[in-house]
Homo-oligomer: A and B are copies of this chain.
Amino acid sequence: MRGCKYGTHRVIEPKGVLPQAAQKISNDMTIFDNEMLIQVQALNIDSASFTQIKETCGGDEEKIKAMIMGIVNERGKMQNPVTGSGGMLIGTIKAIGKDLTDRALKVGDKIASLVSLTLTPLKIEEITAIKMGIDRVEIIGTAVLFESGIYAKLPDDMEETLALAALDVAGAPAQTRKLVKKGQTVLVLGANGKSGLLCCYEAKKQVGEEGQVIGLVRSENKKKFLEETGLCHDVIIADATNPIQTLEEVLNVTNGKEIDVAINCVNVPNTEMSTILPVREEGIVYFFSMATSFTKAALGAEGVGKDVHMIIGNGYSLNHADITLDDLRESKVIRDIFEKLYL
């Protein structure tokens, strides 16, 4: 039997919503023809959720275990009722519904789910370990992925935590590859962060020899760090919440020419105008930062009379996991940095 591709057939209450918005979903582990069954090894709990659970339980491991078991038994999914957030899981494929057998995947493959635990049917038999420092919960249990549920096969040639760190921001480099064209000038705001580094790498590959990739960072230290990576043609220092300063610093390295594409990877609010202002008419403004305000972007562009295409960074993009893991394989410099930070 086929279920809804978005998993609504498993929603118990309230009726008519998507699984993410549901209070309770079915974690019956008999799969539909368009679902996959996962033998789960670990849950990577969202940081906001794990902090809330730890605090409520006063850091007591047994209480944390009981609280997580309670949530999952009650809701059929690991969605913290206070923070509303979930996380992701790691496991191996246990069964593939017959409508999904054309996927490049076989029983026994190790995967990470790239959709949130807030919409993933989960059943825990036993919690075997709580790794406090890294928000990780090791379990014996099973989960279901819907037809629309995205995932990534974990590669054999790198550490699991390294792959997970990169997959966490996979949407950004994948979208950068699709948006940036040969010969263009591209600004990456927040270029020294995880997604920023990957975007710089992809942008530099796409613009080719005639193009220019400009990395914006906040301080002299970060400038030195980014210059040493060689991932940008130019590195500038500016406060991304100050649009005039940002514009001036950008025009300094472009001979006064407005740029084609700006990519925002800055994790602080009020950086919309700094992203919009340096871009030419009909250029592209790509917001990957979750701190972006829709109205500030929409009204801000109107206020300065800029006909720019403003794009909401979609966490998913076709083949985004492969693109991002390939970047890690190709760029020794990024891999070295990620290994230092995330292993």
Identify the A interface with B (CB < 8 A): 6, 8, 16-18, 20, 114-116, 118-119, 148-150, 171, 242-245, 273, 277, 281-282, 287, 290, 292-295, 297-318
In angstroms, Cα B306 to Cα A303, docked, is 32
Within 8 Å CB of A307, what residues of B?
314, 316-318
Given A6-B277, A118-B303, A292-B294, 6 more pairs with CB closer than 8 A:
A116-B302, A150-B302, A298-B314, A299-B315, A306-B316, A309-B314
> Once the chains bind, are B298 and A244 in contact (CB under 8 Å)?
no
Indicate whether A148 sits within 8 Å of B312 (C-beta atoms), given known contacts A8-B244, A18-B244, A242-B16: no
User: In the complex, what residues of B have CB within 8 A of residue A313's CB?
Assistant: 298
- A303 near B244 (CB under 8 angstroms)? no
Which residue of B8, B116, B281, B309 contacts A303 across the interface (Cβ within 8 Å)? B116
Q: A18-B304, A148-B304, A305-B115 are in contact. Are A298 and B312 (CB under 8 A)?
A: yes
Query: Is there an interface contact between A311 and B314, defined as CB atoms closer than 8 Å?
Result: no
The interface residues of chain B lying within 8 Å CB-to-CB of A18 are 243-244, 273, 303-304
- Which residue of B is nearest A114, CB measured? B302
- In the bound complex, residues from chain B placing their C-beta under 8 Å from that of A317 are 307
User: Which of A292, A300, A303 has the most chain B CB atoms closer than 10 A to its own CB?
Assistant: A303
Q: Is the CB of B150 within 8 A of A305?
A: yes
With a CB–CB cut-off of 8 A, which chain B residues contact A298? 290, 312-315
Q: Given contacts A312-B310, A312-B311, is CB(A115)–CB(B302) below 8 Å?
A: yes
Query: Shortest beta-carbon distance, A190 to chain B, in Å?
Result: 16
7 intermolecular pairs with C-beta atoms under 8 Å apart: A118-B303, A281-B318, A292-B294, A301-B314, A307-B314, A309-B314, A310-B311
A309: which B residues are within 8 A, CB to CB? 311, 314
- B149 and A16 within 8 A (CB): no
Q: In the complex, what distance in Å separates the CA atom of A175 from the CA atom of B317?
A: 23
- A282 and B314 CA atoms in complex are apart in Å by 11
Distance between Cα atoms of A119 and B17 in the complex (Å): 43
Considering the chains assembled together, what is the distance between the CA atoms of A95 and B118 in angstroms?
60
B315 and A302 within 8 A (CB): yes
Cα separation A326 to B287 with both chains bound (whole Å): 33
Nearest CB on B from A286, distance (A): 10
- Interface core residue of A311, A317, A318 (most chain B CB under 10 Å): A317
- Assess whether A302 is in contact with B273, with CB atoms less than 8 Å apart: no
* Most B C-beta atoms less than 10 A away, residue of A16, A150, A245, A294: A294
Given the complex, which residues of B lie within 8 Å of A308, measured CB to CB?
A: 314
**A295 and B290 within 8 A (CB):** yes
What's the nearest-Cβ distance from chain B to residue A295, in Å? 6
Q: How far is the CB of A166 from chain B (nearest CB, A)?
A: 16
A314 close to B305 (CB less than 8 A) = no
